[in-house]
Amino acid sequence: MKDRLYFIKTNPVSAKINLYHKLCGEENSMLEFMEDDKKASLEIIKRKTADNIKDLSREEFLCIFNWFNARYGSDDEELKTQLFIHGIDLFYDISNPLCVENFSKILTDYEVYLDYRFSFLINSESFNHFLIYGIFFTGMYHSEEKYLFDFLKHEHKVLYALAEKGYEEKRYGLILQPEMYQYFSDLYDNTRFYKDSVIMI
């Protein structure tokens, strides 16, 4: 089971300047986080960072993230600040392993209904639709405060019907952590006006 799920927005301009220079200036410390053919892999990451950080693969993002985490991970706020300076905005995370499992399961079911598999990098519109589905799904399971649920219900009838169908199929034996509705609501608030891709690692 995965312990933590991170949600990231990128700033290609900051990455092109700050992250690229950090990668060039601290190559040796970065190499230990690389997989096979370390030097060549690092050169690929540097080139992609200089062009557009969104071209990085999930594995390449993880190498960079693990590099920063090894250096700044003892202080969550410092880690977020350093990543942000270098073009990686770690804007939200889910740290409860059971909630990570719940989130992943809801996403997988949603993908099955759409017959479409999302990448780790999701365009904002698709991510937004998934979050609305998640708000409906978790709101049907439990939530005391349903303002956002009720507000979105009138605007997104198709997603509501899909969540209702999903909930009816899964509700027996379904165990969701009580904070799941809040996670989906927070993520929706953090990304509802965002127009670029969201990264999940």
How far apart, in whole angstroms, are the C-alpha atoms of residue 77 and residue 41?
29
Residues 82-96, mean pLDDT to the nearest whole number: 96
The tokens of 109 are what?
A: 């079911």
pLDDT digit string (tens) for 96-148? 999 999 999 999 999 999 999 999 999 999 999 999 999 999 998 876 767 78
How far apart, in whole angstroms, are the C-alpha atoms of residue 161 and residue 138?
14
Q: What is the pTM of this model?
A: 0.90
How far apart, in whole angstroms, are the C-alpha atoms of residue 115 and residue 133?
15
